[in-house]
């Protein structure tokens, strides 16, 4: 895979950073990132974002990654001495490849900015809690929030439109928080047709974050799991290995830092509950509705609401969730938590035991869950049978027979 030198263009208030790409079939001829021109001072002149972002596709091809533009020499060393080894161990179908860099350059001094991704969820609010709302050393205090379109919202124009809607919903929240909000659009997802976003979200987000290294020298990535889940192994997500792999690619100029693995999701939720802004703006739902409100019935919504209920904070979130919807499915969800082996269910059971909240036994919870599931299936079968019977009656009625004979 051959990567050209970075080019920067501005038009209509939008800055586009791009490189030419040769090698992968059925992929674009250029990789680009775009953001509002007002954030131009953050954007790097280096080819580091392309090298990081296209490393996984190059490893999938099994061919050398060749870069014409300037690339930080420390990054080159890190990629060939550890980072690729972890990617190869985690993601099936990858193999290590050599890097051929025409212009390795030493890293400059780090910029003073401190950034983090902001989705409005528990993980991102937890970073804000400890690096903005609470007292912290000035070098660790957040100065920027970001939002990346690198595949989580799907590719192409549909994903781009969804990215725009999400940004429009989150921008007022960032404004109330009082931090600049940097949205970065890209076509990076178009180079990953062979693998899904979840299994590669680490290097994708790292690529976008490195684009801002001229202004942001430290970037906090919100961990989605506790230390006990961290490890290098085959997995459906890089979230388990990112806390190990991402710090390997730190340079003097750009330092990715992981935050939050010391907490369980339940503990993070308690930290976030201390932030008044989250009472209105917390969004943990994957549906991201037009009004920004959580659906209140999906798994992520339910586990968050139950955790808030166990700790006495649920009522404060009546603007973020539809608590009436929650109450209609609450009992069924508690039964599922009682027997589920998911790590979040175990954390909720531990919290319930600590707070004295009654959780049924695993056997009782599973029995009721099985009965509800059987009832749902029976209802589906009954509805299908009723529809089939109605259609059969209609097709055998005298009027339908007359129409058939007349050719109508």
**pLDDT tens digits, 211-235:** 999 999 999 999 888 888 899 999 8
- The last residue of one of the domains, among 229, 259, 289, is 259
Same domain, yes or no: 71 and 207: yes
- The reported pTM is 0.88
Same domain, yes or no: 213 and 312: no
Among 96-110, 200-214, 217-231, name the one with the lowest average pLDDT.
Answer: 217-231
Flag whether 102 is in a domain.
yes
Same domain, yes or no: 81 and 198: yes
pLDDT at 173: 96
Average pLDDT of every residue of the chain: 91
pLDDT at 343: 84
pLDDT at 388: 66
pLDDT at 383: 74
CA distances from 103 to 65, 74, 365 (A): 13, 12, 62
CB 339 within 8 Å of CB 366: yes
Residue 278: domain span: 265-362
SS3 assignment, position 156: helix
Given pLDDT bands bounded at 50, 70 and 90, which one contains residue 289?
A: low
Flag whether 389 is in a domain.
no
- Predicted confidence (pLDDT) at residue 15 exceeds the cutoff of 90: yes
pLDDT at 286: 74
Same domain, yes or no: 186 and 319: no
The tally of CA atoms less than 13 A away on the side-chain side of residue 266 is 19
Same domain, yes or no: 95 and 173: yes
Bridge-based pairing state of the strands 30-36 and 181-186: antiparallel
Pairwise CA distance, residues 375 & 18, whole Å? 55
CA dihedral 63, 68, 72, 75 (to 10 degrees): -10
Average pLDDT over residues 264-288: 90
- Predicted confidence (pLDDT) at residue 149 exceeds the cutoff of 80: yes
pLDDT at 374: 86
Average pLDDT over residues 44-60: 97
Flag whether 400 is in a domain.
no
Same domain, yes or no: 200 and 271: no
Same domain, yes or no: 233 and 272: no
Among 135-144, 308-317, 355-364, 370-379, name the one with the lowest average pLDDT.
Answer: 370-379
pLDDT at 84: 96
Same domain, yes or no: 191 and 335: no
Pairwise CA distance, residues 177 & 249, whole Å? 30
- Predicted confidence (pLDDT) at residue 408 exceeds the cutoff of 50: no
| Total domain count, the chain | 2
Q: Where are the alpha helices (H) located in 211-264, listed in sequence order?
A: 242-245
For the record, the structure tokens of 148 come out as: 């990346």
Average pLDDT over residues 313-338: 95
- Predicted confidence (pLDDT) at residue 406 exceeds the cutoff of 90: no
pLDDT at 404: 47
Average pLDDT over residues 358-374: 89
- The last residue of one of the domains, among 259, 290, 316, is 259
Given pLDDT bands bounded at 50, 70 and 90, which one contains residue 308?
A: very high
Same domain, yes or no: 301 and 282: yes
Same domain, yes or no: 255 and 291: no
pLDDT at 109: 95
The residue among 122, 198, 207 whose CA lies nearest residue 153 is 198
Given pLDDT bands bounded at 50, 70 and 90, which one contains residue 397?
A: low
> pLDDT tens, 181-199?
999 999 999 999 889 899 9
Flag whether 390 is in a domain.
no
- The last residue of one of the domains, among 213, 236, 259, is 259
Given pLDDT bands bounded at 50, 70 and 90, which one contains residue 82?
A: very high
Average pLDDT over residues 126-139: 96
């Amino acid at each position: 895979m051959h990567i050209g030198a970075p080019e920067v263009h501005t038009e209509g208030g939008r800055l586009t950073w791009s490189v030419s790409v040769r090698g992968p079939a059925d992929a674009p001829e250029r990789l680009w990132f775009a953001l509002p021109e007002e954030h131009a001072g953050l954007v790097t002149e280096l080819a580091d974002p392309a090298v990081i972002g296209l490393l996984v596709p190059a490893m999938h091809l099994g061919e050398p990654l060749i870069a014409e533009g300037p690339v930080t020499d420390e990054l080159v060393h890190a990629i060939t001495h550890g980072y690729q080894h972890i990617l190869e161990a985690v993601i099936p179908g990858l193999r290590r490849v050599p890097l051929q860099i025409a212009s390795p350059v030493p890293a400059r001094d780090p910029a003073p900015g401190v950034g983090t991704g902001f989705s409005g969820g528990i993980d991102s609010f937890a970073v804000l809690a400890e690096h903005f709302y609470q007292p912290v050393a000035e070098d660790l205090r957040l100065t920027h929030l970001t939002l990346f379109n690198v595949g989580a919202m799907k590719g192409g124009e549909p994903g781009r439109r969804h990215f725009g809607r999400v940004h429009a919903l989150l921008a007022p929240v960032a404004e109330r928080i009082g931090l600049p909000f940097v949205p970065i659009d890209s076509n990076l997802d178009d180079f990953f047709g062979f693998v899904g976003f979840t299994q590669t979200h680490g290097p994708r987000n790292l690529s976008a974050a490195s684009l801002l290294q001229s202004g942001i020298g430290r970037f906090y990535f919100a961990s989605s799991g506790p230390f006990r889940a961290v490890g290098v192994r085959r997995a459906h997500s890089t979230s388990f290995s990112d806390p190990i792999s991402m710090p390997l690619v730190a340079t003097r100029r750009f330092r990715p830092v992981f935050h939050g693995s010391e907490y369980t999701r339940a503990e993070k939720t308690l930290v976030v509950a201390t932030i008044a802004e989250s009472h209105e703006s917390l969004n943990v739902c994957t549906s991201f509705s037009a009004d920004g409100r959580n659906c209140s019935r999906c798994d992520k919504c339910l586990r968050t609401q139950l955790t808030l209920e166990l700790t006495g904070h649920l009522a404060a979130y009546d603007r973020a969730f539809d608590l009436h919807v929650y109450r209609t499915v609450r009992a069924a969800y508690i039964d599922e938590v009682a027997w589920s082996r998911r790590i979040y269910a175990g954390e909720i059971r531990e919290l319930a035991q600590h707070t004295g909240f009654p959780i049924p036994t695993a056997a009782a919870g599973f029995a009721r869950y099985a009965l509800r599931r059987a009832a749902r299936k029976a209802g589906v079968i009954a509805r299908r049978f009723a529809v089939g019977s109605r259609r059969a009656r209609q097709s055998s009625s005298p009027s339908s027979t007359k129409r058939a004979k007349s050719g109508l």
